[in-house]
């Protein structure tokens, strides 16, 4: 049996785990001896595809009289749905434990989660898979604590942030932070968001009958858990070079950064590199895509495979150039005899091998490499601070995100445009979760939001202009210095949007509102607050 995934479209975690239909398709292909493809209908997908999030919890933050964090306690119920998917318990258990730490030096963390089965669609990983939730709980706690203690919410964050001089640090959550500039990044975010000018913008909104709120949210994600990954390099007859990886691009744009990594290491023209993925006949191993790990794991595997290509090439080039392998150096895509101008390019060497270059016994006969990397061996810790402003219409409950800025530390940024695209998509998904997205069942268990007529998604008109600013501190846990970015948009946007809504609602005496902040929920909360004093 040969599995070829092709372009599967967006996954966001849902397509990472196997479904029963996959087994049926494989069985049918073997029984019929022919390729078999299966495609679900949208109505079926709404019910049978895995859903995301669905936690119900109580969060508590203990502080001393000076506002120093002492402990965080989270008591959580995580819905698994009607049956268990491959990773269903992880978002509400392990990933909340790891990510509630955020960028703060909280010395004690307790997370108690009960995973429960219900008569709803099964739940699995969804972009972030516990990372946005863990960061959200912490940042909401900080805003509430600041209000209750009469401490400025920015100052409370500053007092408790881990300082650069404290890194590397072993956190209470068990993570080993290797890099970061959390105070500097917060300062950077406040400057580019023009927080000092918020009061003026708030007055302008009031003139138009709107209530303006400011929200910020720091985040830190634990991404790229250690695992093996394949990095293959093959020199093709048409002069192109194929990179083979076990991660899968379903919209992220892996081909460009992977080609950039290979081009830099081997001096191969970028346009000659193509990506091969999702073909079981080509893979020695493969972990798929998830946990914001692809550039760390596949990038590391490509770097290691490229090093093997160079070593093989030195042995082959030594015979072509009539020199000892120890005298061969490699730079800018050329094998050179040290101290001379005698050289051969890597693409020319590959062409001569294809033409039948005669080599002594024991010399590699190809530059091709099929390599399995053990991986970096440690996670990465992307972090950032997102700041947004919302306008609320108290007469209708409608909320609009009118200003959004993000400052992020993704370590070494290989392809800024692709990273920016990842941020834009993640931010809009977070806005969707914060403002409108929700699955609904009636009392009889009937699924009511089974089409796009009933399930609200953010549209272009709901999407603000998202500023993406980089504040890079290279990771020390991998050779490229990179940190994951695929899920960061969700981790930052959930928090800052809901904190901005809470800030706007605080003007009516409302302390908190659960997601999603739909117009009716917002309007109802305002009406209840207006009549509460007379009760």
**CATH number, domain containing residue 267:** 3.30.365.10
5 within some domain: no
Strand, coil or helix: what is 341?
Answer: coil
- Please state the domain count of the chain: 2
271, 208: one domain: no
In the numeric block, which tokens belong to residue 363? 């010399």
Query: In the listed set 352, 373, 394, which residue is the last one of a domain according to the structure?
Result: 373
290 within some domain: yes
pLDDT for res 535: 43
Query: In the listed set 325, 355, 373, which residue is the last one of a domain according to the structure?
Result: 373
* Strand stretches in 106-149, DSSP E: 108-117
The candidate with the shortest Cα–Cα distance to 130, out of 88, 183, 84, is: 88
Q: Find the Cα–Cα–Cα–Cα dihedral 160, 165, 166, 167, rounded to 10°.
A: 120
What is the secondary structure of 207-235 as a DSSP string? HTT-EEEEEEEEEE--B-----EEEEEEE
- CA 149, CA 151: separation in Å to the nearest integer? 5
Q: 426: buried, middle or exposed (CB in 10 Å: 19+, 13-18, 0-12)?
A: buried
84, 108: one domain: yes
- CA 21, CA 39: separation in Å to the nearest integer? 10
- CA 95, CA 191: separation in Å to the nearest integer? 31
293, 238: one domain: yes
- CA 117, CA 14: separation in Å to the nearest integer? 19
Q: How far is CA 333 from CA 362, 370, 485, in A?
A: 24, 20, 30
* End-to-end CA gap in the chain: 70
pLDDT for res 85: 86
**Unique residue bearing structure tokens 């150096």:** 329
1 within some domain: no
pLDDT for res 5: 82
- CA 162, CA 105: separation in Å to the nearest integer? 6
- CA 423, CA 485: separation in Å to the nearest integer? 7
pLDDT for res 289: 84
Angle, CA of 419, 424 and 425, to the nearest 5°: 100
22 within some domain: no
50 within some domain: no
363, 402: one domain: no
Q: Which residues contact 88 (CB under 8 A, 6 or more apart)?
A: 50, 80, 81, 115, 122, 123, 124
What does the longest C-alpha to C-alpha distance in the chain come to?
Answer: 96
522, 394: one domain: yes
- CA 69, CA 61: separation in Å to the nearest integer? 7
Polymer length in residues for the chain: 535
214 within some domain: yes
342, 466: one domain: no
Query: In the listed set 324, 348, 373, which residue is the last one of a domain according to the structure?
Result: 373
pLDDT for res 1: 82
333, 393: one domain: no
- CA 126, CA 10: separation in Å to the nearest integer? 11
pLDDT for res 533: 63
263, 396: one domain: no
Domain residue limits at 94: 55-171+179-223+379-534
pLDDT under 50: residue ranges of the chain: 534-535
369, 255: one domain: yes
pLDDT for res 78: 94
343 within some domain: yes
201, 72: one domain: yes
138 within some domain: yes
335, 408: one domain: no
Q: Which residues contact 187 (CB under 8 A, 6 or more apart)?
A: none
Burial 376-410, CB ≥16 within 10 A → b, else e = bebbbbbbbbbbbbbbbbbeebebebbbbbbbbbb
60, 205: one domain: yes
Inter-residue contact 285 to 244 (CB < 8 Å): no
Strand, coil or helix: what is 411?
Answer: strand
Q: How far is CA 299 from CA 230, 252, 277, 365, in A?
A: 10, 14, 14, 25
Inter-residue contact 205 to 141 (CB < 8 Å): no
For the four alpha carbons of 31, 33, 34 and 35, in that order, the dihedral sign comes to positive
- CA 176, CA 171: separation in Å to the nearest integer? 6
């Amino acid at each position: 049996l040969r599995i070829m995934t092709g372009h599967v479209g967006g996954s966001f975690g849902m397509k990472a785990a196997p479904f029963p239909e996959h087994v049926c398709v494989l069985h049918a292909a073997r029984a019929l001896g022919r390729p078999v493809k299966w495609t679900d209908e949208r109505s079926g997908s709404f019910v049978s595809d895995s859903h995301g999030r669905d936690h119900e919890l109580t969060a508590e933050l203990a502080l001393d009289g000076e506002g120093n964090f002492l402990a965080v306690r989270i008591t959580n119920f995580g819905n698994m749905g009607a049956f268990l998917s491959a990773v269903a318990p992880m978002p509400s258990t392990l990933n909340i434990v790891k990510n509630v730490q955020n960028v703060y030096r909280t010395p004690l963390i307790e997370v108690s989660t009960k995973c429960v089965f219900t008569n709803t669609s099964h739940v699995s990983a969804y972009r972030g898979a516990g990372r946005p939730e863990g960061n959200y709980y912490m940042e909401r706690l900080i805003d509430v604590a600041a209000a209750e203690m009469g401490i400025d919410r920015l100052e409370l964050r500053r007092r408790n942030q881990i300082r650069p001089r404290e890194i590397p640090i072993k956190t209470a959550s068990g993570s080993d932070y290797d890099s970061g500039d959390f105070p500097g990044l917060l300062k950077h975010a406040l400057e580019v968001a023009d927080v000092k000018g918020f009061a003026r913008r708030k007055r302008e909104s009031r003139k138009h009958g709107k209530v303006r709120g400011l929200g910020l949210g720091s985040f830190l994600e634990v991404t790229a858990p250690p695992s093996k990954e394949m990095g293959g390099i093959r020199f093709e007859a048409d002069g192109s070079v194929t990179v083979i990886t076990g991660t899968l691009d379903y919209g992220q744009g892996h081909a460009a950064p992977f080609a950039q990594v290979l081009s830099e290491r081997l001096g191969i023209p970028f346009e000659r590199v193509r990506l091969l993925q999702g073909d079981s006949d080509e893979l020695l191993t493969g972990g798929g895509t998830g946990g914001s790990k692809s550039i760390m794991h596949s990038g590391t595997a490509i770097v290691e495979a490229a090093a093997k290509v160079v070593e093989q090439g030195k042995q082959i080039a030594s015979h072509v150039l009539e020199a000892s392998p120890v005298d061969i150096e490699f730079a800018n895509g050329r094998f050179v005899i040290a101290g001379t101008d005698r050289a051969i390019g890597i693409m020319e060497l590959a062409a001569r091998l294809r033409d039948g270059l005669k080599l002594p016994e024991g010399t590699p006969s190809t530059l091709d490499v099929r390599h399995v990397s053990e991986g970096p061996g440690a996670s990465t810790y992307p972090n950032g601070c997102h700041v947004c402003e919302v306008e609320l219409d108290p007469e209708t409950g409608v909320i609009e995100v009118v200003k959004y800025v993000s400052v992020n530390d993704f370590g070494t940024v290989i392809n800024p445009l692709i990273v920016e695209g990842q941020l834009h998509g993640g931010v809009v998904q977070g806005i969707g979760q914060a403002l409108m997205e929700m699955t609904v069942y009636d009392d009889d268990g009937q699924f009511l939001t089974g089409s796009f007529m009933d399930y609200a998604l953010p549209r272009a008109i709901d999407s603000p202009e998202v500023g993406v600013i980089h504040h890079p501190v290279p990771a020390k846990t991998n050779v490229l210095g990179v940190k994951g970015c695929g899920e960061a948009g969700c981790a930052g946007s959930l928090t800052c949007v809901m904190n901005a809504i809470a800030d706007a609602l605080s003007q009516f005496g409302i302390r908190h509102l659960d997601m999603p902040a739909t117009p009716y929920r917002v309007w109802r909360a305002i009406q209840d607050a207006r009549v509460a004093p007379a009760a």
